[in-house]
Amino acid sequence: MLRFILLSALAVAGLAFSPHTTTTTLPSSTALKMASSVEEVKVGDTIPSITLAEGAADYGSPTQIDIAELIKGKKVAIFAVPGAFTPGCSKSHLPSFITAQEDLKSKGVEMTICIATNDAYVMEAWGRTSGGADAGIRFLSDSNAELSRALGLSIEGGILVRSQRYSLIAEDGVVTHYFSAAKQSSDTWAPNVLAAL
């Protein structure tokens, strides 16, 4: 304990007498800010042409994928999460879509896509280790939050911009159903999506 106190005191003293001082000004509010410059996506909107990345096994180079081209001519379920490997996303949201794949297909959904602002390597690892990729779900990285911002669903703040939690159904690129987590997260889970189809 004495060693810890002594080292802490030396570190503070070293910083205090350092010729290179840095002043950091923190914003008056550290609260995360939801995107406000773009209106939130709604039924009837078209999914924009934005390039996302899909990771490859064994750390292969990610593939660049235009989301509009990927979903063109298809009925798809898209759900986004604030972060891969996070508790709510890994324990509830993603598993709800893993177990619902057959039911979604019976409703005409041809592809399910999971999106987060994590990089493509993290998304590939999450898909592989969660069982989501084996269930047929595509895991795409929106690492620059371009899609999240274009849909009015980014959470701005800190180092990493995240996506709000949402789900939607799109047919030939047009949103036919939209599910927001504004009231409760479970509104975006697969059972709620299925009930609306």
Active site residues: 89
> For residue 133, what are its two tokens?
């990729």
Report d(CA 134, CA 72) in Å as an integer: 23
Question: Cβ of 10: how many Cβ atoms within 10 Å?
Answer: 10
What DSSP element (H or E) covers 111?
A: strand 111-116
31: Cβ contacts below 8 Å, ≥ 6 apart: 157
